[in-house]
Structure 1
């Protein structure tokens, strides 16, 4: 036993403090409470003499007897655990004011009590003298406090399962949402220095303490929110250190690129990272050279998770666009890869979704004004930003026309043998896939029997299982966008049809509208195998259905194709295309102009 832990040291205390100390050491909970309350105001000379009293209440030789009492008389256990909890709190309070070589030996007893208290709490939650949450915060307080001593830390590092209890405590701390600054700082210190995410066993202990991978993901997100709760928050150096603790942990573990990423996204990592990024762009924030690239390092793959467009909407709602402009104008040296990626890919690719454009619209003008700053205009991102602004302006204009009801105001009955065209609200909608419309129940029944039965199942699975975030409005806006682009390039498309059909005038064909690089590109080709059912329907329509396939990006490396047919009132356009391909049709004007001028209702 270390000399400073000997109980006879208490005899050096003045009366009546000596009597109080001896009584506390001999088991009086009331006197131990009184001694604990004296710690903040006592001189160091007396604090050293309190150590043996607290240590006496951590005698772990009692634990084996107490385990036997768990099922017999819990009141005996409860009294003893109450004293141990108070002693552990006293040790942590002493550590703030006093350096002692005895802490290493105290740790051995403290560790035994931490494990026993946790076992008791599992069997009798809240009956140990503290709530489950208070106990778990006590674990992390003891671990982080005693780790300040280098010799004790060396012992702690060799303690099996210590990070499991640290994980339990971490959860309890962040669940407070506004934890004490001191405890939160100690937690972050220990995490940065002693939780090695590259050590698989080390990390697994921590995850076990949190409960599971989804609960660990929730822990990481809550931690970030504790550090930066909202966009207007001005982060302190401690907040920056708190972010560093989580960023370092996430970026170093392979789990982030595997089973951890999806639960992180589900728990709101994109939203809280965007809030943090917005706050980090403040002029007085410290450690930005380190923190902002790390924040982007976590945000970059998170926002790319399939499907990406709802996540991008979240990010826009929480200030992403403003943060990107501020970062590009002032910190291009440290963010080159991340900023180029945002400007070249998702900012352009996501402009096909009504939900994303709705989030972009209220922040677009402010971001454009910020981008007019000399710092941004002289950056290497100005040209890419201008490309984004041009495309966004076009798409927002299309959305205005769509929202007003001007664009694609009519829709065709999806019974391909019917030529009826009506306003949207005058048609019946298939209640399963929500994407087929009919002018009557008779047309709906006929279409179901002639092929919609199979297409409906595929559409239902696509919308409701694989991509639940694709709302009807998002899908319907794609229809409007395709129609707008079709109208603006109709002459060119007709010329492409004729060239394609010259090889085989009777060959079924389709047009692909590819939006994966932002601006649309169009191509005509043979109908692919996966569109065979649609091709059969188009053939049955007598030229009233032209197959158009729309390809959009839904996350990095993930694309989705939507079939959005072009409907005509009759088959005159297809007949004219075939005639021109055969060379049978001669007119003074160009064939494209001739077909474009037909007074024919067409809609997607």
Structure 2
């Protein structure tokens, strides 16, 4: 609950707030004003005042400013305990305070009156919000939307002064009231009718700087409810057709993306280099709602604008769209998220952004190029290995000839597009081969990594999935980790297997077989070695399996990393880590772990190939030399990276 700060009574109030100003009013208004400041207030006076304020102009409302200030004295707020049995006096004070707030929101007082008005405004506003269900029966609050929208309009008016704006945005009660107002926006007409109010609400959200507790209090919900509201309002802002451009609505979407950026604390991070491990509760809640599609559709709408009509405002809208897509992809590594974006024209969006940024060179457009490169490199290219994504990209392959039309692309962009196009064409050839019914005649031994005809290999009798060339290899792999990941373990099976359909899994196996066979002679060049210079130094090797994004997870310390394999529970809880054993020539078995960007727990398919991929091309002495070169100092972690030529 937000804390209401006690009002400090200013003896030297602003002259415009003094009751003596009422003498300047006309006779009828002066009489009404005098009655409203009399004690006690009568029902007849309140009814007359309500009638006078209804539909009154801002000039008329401003003339009653001293009356508003008088009736909003916090000493007139009825005690909470008295609400169950209000007498006439307290009920009159409650109604008088509400009518004063309502009239004040329609007025335009001098900005200099803010220090005196603001404490009373937020104290009464929060009180009415907190007891809205009860108060609405007393004050006849027929249209909460109009009331809260006029409140936000008034806050926006006061915010034209930088000092006033700073105080409004830093007041927790403002965040509560903005959350309550945000619940009201449910109609497409709200974007035009309550344009200023909506902008003020979002400014207040940005001002909360990621502290959501007060906003959620206003929403009377949790982060999921907030995500639903943002999703609904952004959905209303996206035109039904990519050809129907409405920059007013797109600007509302851009503002919402700014809110998301601030709340999830990504505003100070370079948009193309977000930290994957960072907690982003709002983005995580938005992904299941299909928010990726909304952002992608907005970006596609922008991409339909011809280059000769492109403006700075278009770039300022496209940039946040691409940055948000990049962040949303990181929240859920299931391919169906990327499928949504590809279905909504992600390839066309990236092509348009590339063309615009290379044609109109500005600092902001240079940032667009960085975003395009990042999405191509870290999202699209790696995900060409997934069957449903590849099917969708096959439908967009006719667009790839437009890559050559990008004018004067920088080397980074040219390389990113070339890598993606090359990977896609290679994978599409395999897709055609796969769909033609070609059978994999060879499999990989789960123990030594040798590729042999399936007739010479035997399956694990438990899971019927991993194959071995000899009983010795099967025993070795069972002890090295297959026991924990074997498909016979139902609890692990749910964790490991059921994220894929059978066809997707079969295609992955098909693809890995062909790519491993083709890259076998050079795959060892794509390793990353980590050495912990401790007493028990352990080498961990991770493979950038062609275009797979791989990160090394170094397990240092006095204990052997293999101890983690003795605790199957850790294997389930960690989920994203794979622990296995890697034979280095004739040397003792070393432990390693690797982390894929998506579905890292498919031990049998990715692990059995990658963990033994360098056996035929790099001996133990060569690995020792690599380790020695990797050492950069005593007690420090060193990294040696060699890129795989594609």
TM-score normalised by the chain length of structure 2: 0.59
The question of 1:116 aligning with 2:122 is answered: no
The question of 1:388 aligning with 2:420 is answered: yes
CA-to-partner distance for each residue in 1:252-309, whole Å, 9 max, x for gaps? Answer: 8547921524334344443333233334444445434544444433332331234242
Find the structure with the greater CA-based Rg.
1
Against the structure 1 CA distance between its residues 208 and 71, is the aligned structure 2 distance closer, same or farther, given a 3 Å change threshold? closer
Rounded to whole Å, the distance in 2 between the matches of 1:74 and 1:407 is 86
The question of 1:368 aligning with 2:400 is answered: yes
Against the structure 1 CA distance between its residues 469 and 11, is the aligned structure 2 distance closer, same or farther, given a 3 Å change threshold? farther
The question of 1:477 aligning with 2:491 is answered: no
The question of 1:243 aligning with 2:259 is answered: no
Structure 2: where are the runs of 5+ without partners? 1-12, 268-277, 359-365, 444-452, 456-461, 467-481, 525-541, 550-561, 566-593, 609-646
Does the Cα contact within 8 Å between 1:350 and 1:356 map onto a contact in 2?
yes
The question of 1:188 aligning with 2:187 is answered: no
Against the structure 1 CA distance between its residues 191 and 32, is the aligned structure 2 distance closer, same or farther, given a 3 Å change threshold? same
Does the Cα contact within 8 Å between 2:383 and 2:389 map onto a contact in 1?
yes
Residue of structure 1 in register with 2:341 after alignment: 315
Against the structure 1 CA distance between its residues 4 and 179, is the aligned structure 2 distance closer, same or farther, given a 3 Å change threshold? same
Rounded to whole Å, the distance in 2 between the matches of 1:215 and 1:129 is 27
Question: Which residue of 311, 326, 350 corresponds with 2:383?
Answer: 350
Alignment partner of 1:456: what SS?
coil
The question of 1:88 aligning with 2:101 is answered: yes
Structure 1: where are the runs of 5+ without partners? 413-418, 422-431, 437-450, 497-511, 520-527, 531-550, 567-604
Shift of 1:330: 1.8
Alignment partner of 1:102: what SS?
helix
Residue of structure 1 in register with 2:487 after alignment: 456
CA-to-partner distance for each residue in 1:546-578, whole Å, 9 max, x for gaps? Answer: xxxxx99544x9574443999xxxxxxxxxxxx
Does the Cα contact within 8 Å between 1:482 and 1:513 map onto a contact in 2?
no
The question of 1:179 aligning with 2:199 is answered: no
Against the structure 1 CA distance between its residues 160 and 345, is the aligned structure 2 distance closer, same or farther, given a 3 Å change threshold? closer
Does the Cα contact within 8 Å between 1:306 and 1:554 map onto a contact in 2?
no
The question of 1:4 aligning with 2:36 is answered: no
Against the structure 1 CA distance between its residues 137 and 291, is the aligned structure 2 distance closer, same or farther, given a 3 Å change threshold? same
Residue of structure 1 in register with 2:53 after alignment: 36
Alignment partner of 1:148: what SS?
coil
Shift of 1:117: 1.0
Shift of 1:331: 1.2
Kindly tell me the number of residue pairs found equivalent between the two proteins.
481
Against the structure 1 CA distance between its residues 485 and 159, is the aligned structure 2 distance closer, same or farther, given a 3 Å change threshold? closer
Does the Cα contact within 8 Å between 1:225 and 1:272 map onto a contact in 2?
yes
Residue of structure 1 in register with 2:295 after alignment: 273
Does the Cα contact within 8 Å between 1:192 and 1:245 map onto a contact in 2?
no
Does the Cα contact within 8 Å between 1:516 and 1:552 map onto a contact in 2?
no
Q: How does 1:26-105 map to 2 (within 5 A)?
A: 28-40=45-57, 44=59, 46-65=60-79, 67-73=80-86, 81=94, 84-95=97-108, 99=110, 101-105=112-116
Shift of 1:326: 0.9
CA-to-partner distance for each residue in 1:481-503, whole Å, 9 max, x for gaps? Answer: 346668x869x89xx9xxxxxxx
The question of 1:164 aligning with 2:181 is answered: no
Residue of structure 2 in register with 1:258 after alignment: 279
Alignment partner of 2:547: what SS?
coil
Rounded to whole Å, the distance in 2 between the matches of 1:234 and 1:241 is 13
TM-score normalised by the chain length of structure 1: 0.63
Residue of structure 2 in register with 1:596 after alignment: none
Shift of 1:243: 1.8
Rounded to whole Å, the distance in 2 between the matches of 1:89 and 1:411 is 78
Shift of 1:325: 0.8
Against the structure 1 CA distance between its residues 130 and 344, is the aligned structure 2 distance closer, same or farther, given a 3 Å change threshold? same
Does the Cα contact within 8 Å between 1:138 and 1:169 map onto a contact in 2?
no
CA-to-partner distance for each residue in 1:514-566, whole Å, 9 max, x for gaps? Answer: 855169xxxxxxxx999xxxxxxxxxxxxxxxxxxxx99544x9574443999
Does the Cα contact within 8 Å between 1:433 and 1:456 map onto a contact in 2?
yes
Against the structure 1 CA distance between its residues 49 and 306, is the aligned structure 2 distance closer, same or farther, given a 3 Å change threshold? closer
CA-to-partner distance for each residue in 1:351-408, whole Å, 9 max, x for gaps? Answer: 121221233233332x32543435377875345324423432343354455556x344
